[in-house]
Amino acid sequence: MKKKLITTLLLLLVCLSGYSQISWNAKAGINISNIINWGDVDFKPGYQVGVGMDYYFNDHWGVQPSLLLISKGYKDKGDYYFPPFMENSEKLKSYNITDNKVYVELPLLLTYRFNVSEKLKLIFSGGGYIAYGITGKFKNTNTLLDGSKRKDKVDSFSAGVEKFDTGLAAGAALEYNDKYSIGLSSDFGLKSTQARFKNRTYGLSFGYRF
């Protein structure tokens, strides 16, 4: 079912390309991400890069499907607390976690644009996305009471972690001369990828329209 959904969206890109109001774009940028439903975790810096297509029904309304490679995850650190009877765990003092996942993501957005000036356009977008995790590393650096460190590294998508993700997406971009753009984007996961954790991402990207 997941593969069929991804295939359908890719076919949509191909089918729409036959219309005259189609334009293609490439974009790349940086982002910050974390997860919700797990206390106060820190944002992790990351990246996003991909290609997209714009199809406008008229001067204002259109749709924008894209294909992105995007990193998501979170950072967290803190001190261990163990009851006195857990003697074999007393050597652990603190932890520092970084979870870095990489997804192939397919956003499908409804867009609205209007002219700010002769050469500037402001574009608002909103819709949803589906994503599939392709790689990732979960790193945990434990600090012991004697000051030494112990580093552990495992696959982010190990047992119990769902690779498939879906959620809401929104953004805004400023476009110059119908070619160059700078935009803000956000993803809000609706699916729990591990326990009750859901992805959340904010990005800044630069684009070029062909």
Residue 144's DSSP bridge partners are: 92
What values do phi and psi take at 4, rounded to 5? -65, -40
Among 68-72, 125-129, 148-152, 175-179, where is mean pLDDT lowest? 148-152
The sign of the torsion formed by the CA atoms of 162, 164, 166, 170 equals positive
Give, in order, the Cα–Cα distances in Å from 175 to each of 48, 91, 93, 180. Answer: 19, 56, 50, 6
Each residue's pLDDT tens digit, 89-116: 557 888 899 999 999 999 999 999 999 9
pLDDT tens-digit map of 53-67:
999 888 899 999 999
Determine the longest span between alpha carbons in the chain, in angstroms.
72
- 205 vs 173: CA distance, rounded Å: 9
Extract the tokens encoding 113. Answer: 């644009």
The pLDDT of residue 44 is 96
**Helix/strand/coil for 158:** coil
- Residues 28 and 182: their CA atoms lie apart, in Å, by 10
The band of 79, judged by pLDDT with boundaries at 50, 70 and 90, is confident
Q: Give the tens place of pLDDT for each residue, 146-156.
A: 778 888 899 99
**Which residues neighbour 71 within 8 Å (Cβ) at sequence distance 6 or greater?**
31, 33, 46, 47, 48, 100, 101, 102, 103
Nearest CA-CA partner of 114 in 172, 29, 167:
172
| Counts of helices then strands in the chain (DSSP H, E) | 1, 9
Domain span at residue 85?
A: 2-209
- Alpha-carbon distance of 105 to 38, in angstroms, equals 23
Whole-model pTM: value is: 0.83
Tell me the per-residue pLDDT of 151-203, one tens digit each, with 9 for 90 and over: 889 999 987 788 999 999 999 999 999 999 999 999 999 988 877 889 999 99
CA atoms within 13 A on the CB side of 185: 31
Provide the domain count of the chain.
1
For the four alpha carbons of 77, 78, 81 and 87, in that order, the dihedral sign comes to: positive
Q: Which CATH number characterizes residue 177's domain?
A: 2.40.160
